Amino acid sequence: MAGLPAIVSAPQQDMLSASFPICGDGPRVTCVVDGDTFWHQGVKIRIADIDTPELSPPRCDAERVKGEAAKRRLRDLLNAGKFSLVAGWRDEDRHGRKLRTVTRNGHSIGETLIAEGLAHRWDGTRRGWCD
């Protein structure tokens, strides 16, 4: 989906909020898995408009470092205030994760991660993070 706009059709008012820790080994209800996957109220969500470095397992040390930074930044962004989850043309991926664009004030949180160099725009192709 190359060329997707940064502003998506989001609700007029963001209504969702939670306290997001980094996921641990226990049950996952509301927590951040990595830079593009998190749990919210028992539902696993894959951010639809971005791809971030892999952590399980990373292919190189540079990918691990950037992946950990993306995970922490997503946690901080989700914890920064109310947000919305916007469904796209596909409800779930092949792993059963809900595909959603995360927005705040109508702007994609994924675009923030892209602008900060912690994510690539998802165009259907994984790109490497190793030099």
Q: Where are the domains of the chain?
A: 31-121
pLDDT beyond 50 at 2: no
When pLDDT is averaged across residues 44-52 and rounded to a whole number, the result is: 96
| pTM of structure | 0.88
Cα separation, 86 vs 22, whole angstroms: 22
Give the whole-angstrom CA distance, residue 14 versus residue 101: 13
Domain 31-121 class in CATH: mainly beta
| pLDDT computed for residue 1 by the predictor | 42
